Amino acid sequence: MAPASYELTEVWALVERAQAGEAEAFGLIYDRYVDTVFRFIHFRVGNRQLAEDLTADTFLRALRRIGTVTWQGRDLGAWLVTIARNLVADHFKSGRYRVEVTTADVLDADRVDREPESSPEAAVLDHLTNVALLGAVRRLSPEQQECIVLRFLQGFSVAETARAMDRNEGAVKALQYRAVRALARLLPEGVRP
């Protein structure tokens, strides 16, 4: 979810400490955002090894640029995702990527067996719904996919998504509407809301 203001203040205090040369402060920033960055990249590239490489590149680039980042009253996660997004775009432009990404590639294959609170049947049903949903997301345009992943899978606000995608908020609202509408049409009967 989008962070509360006290969380933003806490993160930017870590940024200031990192900018003062405290390595561990950057480590705490990494701890907070590594899942967000990895999940975004993994969904886009659909390959764990490549997602790990690009996640490492994202944080190395962020480390080397932490001195230049300035407080804008917003979540640092949007800045990190912007770096990740640019690295993913560079990767796709390089022509070394796999064209086919299956839904199974972007799901955690073992996760269905790791939900202790739910019954096995409910876990399987949830997993099947997730497969259908994420499969449909994968059929959206790259920009619509990014918007859906950032807004609803990562919990970014419209403002944060706009910042990460280098767009204005009005454009993100329009993109969000087109993406959700397209997604609803792509879903199979039974999963459609």
Partner 1 sequence: MIIWLFHRRRAERLARLLDEPAGDTHDEELAGYVRLTGYLARGTSALADPGADFRTSLRALLMATAEREDIRGRPFGGGR
DSSP-based three-state secondary structure for 119: coil
Q: Which of 55, 147, 163, 165 binds partner 1 (CB under 8 A)?
A: 55
- For residue 183, CA distances in Å to 39, 46, 106, 127, 191 come to 20, 19, 17, 18, 11
Binding window for partner 1 (CB under 8 A); candidates: 5-13, 56-64, 92-100, 139-147: 56-64
Q: Which of 108, 125, 141, 168 binds partner 1 (CB under 8 A)?
A: 108
> Please, are residues 43 and 112 in contact by the beta-carbon 8 Å criterion?
no
Selection from 135, 149, 148 nearest residue 179 by Cα: 148
**How many residues bind to partner 1 according to rule CB under 8 A?**
65
Distant-in-sequence contacts of 107-116, Cβ < 8 A, 24+ apart: 107/131, 107/134
Residues that bind partner 1 (CB under 8 A): 18-21, 23-24, 26-27, 30-31, 34-35, 38-39, 42-43, 48, 51-52, 55-56, 59-60, 63-68, 82-83, 86, 106-108, 111, 115, 126-127, 129-131, 133-134, 137, 148, 151-155, 158, 173-174, 176-178, 180-181, 183-184, 187, 191-193
